[in-house]
Amino acid sequence: MPKTREKAARPFDTLFEAYDAWYDREPGRSLFEVEADALKEMMPNMSGPVIEIGVGSGRFAQFLKIPYGLDPAVQPLKIAKKRGIHCMGADAVSMPFRDTGVGCCLLMVTLCFVTEPLKVLKEVYRVLKPGGVVILGMVLRESPWGADYLSKAEKGHPFYTLATFQSHKKVLALLSKAGFQIPEVVSTLFQPPGKSAYGAENFRKGYFPEAGFTIYRAAKRAQH
């Protein structure tokens, strides 16, 4: 695996237990619920196979009943396997799937960690069936949560220092350049960072810069 890509996955390989355990206590527990509930509503009856790219320890995949996961960090995959996910150690930039075989790909806070997001989205496009769908769960750089993570990155946070948080405009441009149709967008987590726990929220349709979590659902053109 090339060193640049390996680098983005390395902290997830070494700190995976702490990363996973963060969701067992507040505020991680209630944040998970806000984000996972919105994702679930955006993923009804997805035609398979459904795969999470950058699946990590598989918390979201398990909750969303996603059967397959892929990640270059192989240590967290051990937890994902225990959660019942069929896992592959591989890089999103070159996936071990044939063309047009996958029904749906989820990237949950993963696009900001890959070194070449456009290349990854083009690769997702390649593996999706015509009419197949990509779902992106994103923390946008202009949101209060993006600003909080950027300030943590400046202080040397082990994960956020490796992230490139994209703006809404950038995500739309990347999806379009990769060939996807104009996405549906929903926003949630309107509560600010820094709370000890978070209340349940209903997502809002559309883009809101004040939202901490934004979901994009974009389809591959049926004919190309």
Q: Which residues bind ligand SAM (CB under 6 A)?
A: 5, 8-9, 12, 53-56, 59-60, 71-73, 76, 91-93, 108-110, 113-114
Q: How many whole angstroms separate alpha carbon 137 and alpha carbon 42?
A: 10
For residues 177 and 65, give the distance between their C-alpha atoms in angstroms, rounded to a whole number. Answer: 30
Q: Closest approach of Cβ 223 to ligand SAM, in Å?
A: 28
Between strands 128-138 and 102-108, the pairing is parallel
Residues 6+ apart with CB under 8 A from 65: none
- Full 3-state SS string of 110-140: CHHHCCCHHHHHHHHHHHEEEEEEEEEEECC
- Tell me how far, at minimum, the Cβ of 115 lies from ligand SAM, in Å: 7
With respect to ligand SAM, which residue has the nearer C-beta, 32 or 207? 32
Residue number, 106 or 218, with CB nearest to ligand SAM: 106
Closest approach, Cβ 29 to ligand SAM, in A, equals 13
CB of 213 to ligand SAM, least distance (A): 11
Shortest approach of ligand SAM to residue 52 CB, angstroms? 6
* Distances 100 to 35, 57, 123, 189 between C-alpha atoms, Å: 29, 26, 11, 34
Output 9 or 186, the one with its CB closest to ligand SAM.
Answer: 9
